[in-house]
Structure 1
């Protein structure tokens, strides 16, 4: 006679996971009408068929893309400067959050009809503030800390092109927020100005105040275990890293080529 099928009663089952099984039965109606809210930084709408709106929507995604890139860079580089650079973004975000509560200025009317999807207040623009912070800090860092060796004529041109690209990207991000009706012009202008001011303050704090404690931080056992590094004392850091990594890669290629040649010679013998 075949065994009887096992019947499990969810209401009487004793298990450490019982609350996951009988929760809907014990609390009827709790999950009947769920409310879903998108993460506003990644939820960007544009008018169907508007090609310029599509392009600007991608520009509006730049802060999020930049954050992901910074996190990836921190995982592989683990240097204090990059960690503090990303930390400034979070501090800027906290400041922006409280400023919105204080100002209580609503978004443009077209976005106001979609307040279920976005934060109701828009002054100052978080996108403009965060991206102007990113671009200003990076421009200052490149000009003061990452000067490339070369003639006096070539060096300023590299800096000018880089700074111009930073400014252009930040302006396009700010303009995209106005074009897509997420913010008014005043909101992105105030956000951009706050981002520039905060970037200057944060750069001064990191490179002239916090830097005093970095040698002590990197010598701690936890910092050594996490491979936290400090490049602040190295001049021309970009050129330094390029030369060292290029030379090391060349040495590895040469050793590999010599090893293969020795293997071939031994086989011929």
Structure 2
């Protein structure tokens, strides 16, 4: 038995992103190419701690996007760009449309619409308008860089990322409309169900300026418990004297 007879090990392809050694732009874009994974992990963490049904449905749209991407890839069966060496075993052979581009444009489109229509940030209307425009433009630029990184790193063709971007944008619009104009009307019924209560599912949609509300509520509750603990300590000290 020798090294040549050892089992073959492969990296987990979902996070294995390569760039040419010494290419600083490639290194920079490889990190941008990781943003969809970072975003998904952050979103799952947010769901775990907030249990907000709007956030859960936001993630649900990503799951729908993944199903659509798989179906489209198997339908088109278009190969990825040719490589200087065989790396096709590291990821799925089909590349139309780009999953990275589709996923991130879905995330950014849904979030951009949410920011424009339901932003509850403090400030004057002019300040809120400027802030919303900045956030939307920043999201568009970030999504474009993510899509471009897939072309630069030779994982997809230009056409594949453009199609992915259009599919993701369209899905973001359709899913936002479905969630906020059809699904949300059933939320009061859903959150009253025993299973939803068991998993602490909640709906923050009716609460204006939710961050400010949470801060005030949690600050008042923490203050109340500190005072109760201080009074309890005083009673214990008095009783021991």
TM-score tier, shorter chain, comes to 0.7 to 0.9
Distance verdict in 2 for CA 1:146–1:152, change over 3 Å: closer
> Could you state the TM-score of these two structures normalised by the residue count of structure 1?
0.79
In 1: Cα distance, 2:156 partner to 2:59 partner: 25
The aligned counterpart of 1:92 is 65
* Matching residue within 183, 192, 196 for 1:219: 192
Matched position secondary structure for 2:97: coil
Distance apart, 1:155 and its partner CA? 0.9
In 2: Cα distance, 1:248 partner to 1:157 partner: 35
Q: Deviations over 1:196-219 (max 9, x none)?
A: 110111111111111122111111
Distance verdict in 2 for CA 1:168–1:240, change over 3 Å: farther
The aligned counterpart of 1:61 is 34
CA RMSD in angstroms comes to 2.6
2:122 aligned with 1:122: no
The aligned counterpart of 2:123 is 150
- Structure 1: state its 5+ residue gaps: 1-31
Q: Which has the larger radius of gyration?
A: 1
Q: Deviations over 1:152-190 (max 9, x none)?
A: 221112212221221121111111111111011111111
Aligned length: 236
- Structure 2: state its 5+ residue gaps: none
> Could you state the TM-score of these two structures normalised by the residue count of structure 2?
0.87
Distance verdict in 2 for CA 1:196–1:141, change over 3 Å: same
Distance verdict in 2 for CA 1:255–1:117, change over 3 Å: same
Q: Deviations over 1:75-130 (max 9, x none)?
A: 11111111111111111001001101111111111278311111111110000000
Distance apart, 1:254 and its partner CA? 6.2
In 2: Cα distance, 1:57 partner to 1:242 partner: 37
In 2: Cα distance, 1:233 partner to 1:177 partner: 40
Matched position secondary structure for 1:44: coil
The worse-fitting range, judged by mean Cα deviation, of 167-176 and 109-118 is: 109-118
The aligned counterpart of 2:82 is 109
Is the 1:217–1:223 Cα contact (8 Å) retained in structure 2? yes
Greater helix share, 1 or 2?
Answer: 2
Distance apart, 1:252 and its partner CA? 5.1
2:176 aligned with 1:203: yes
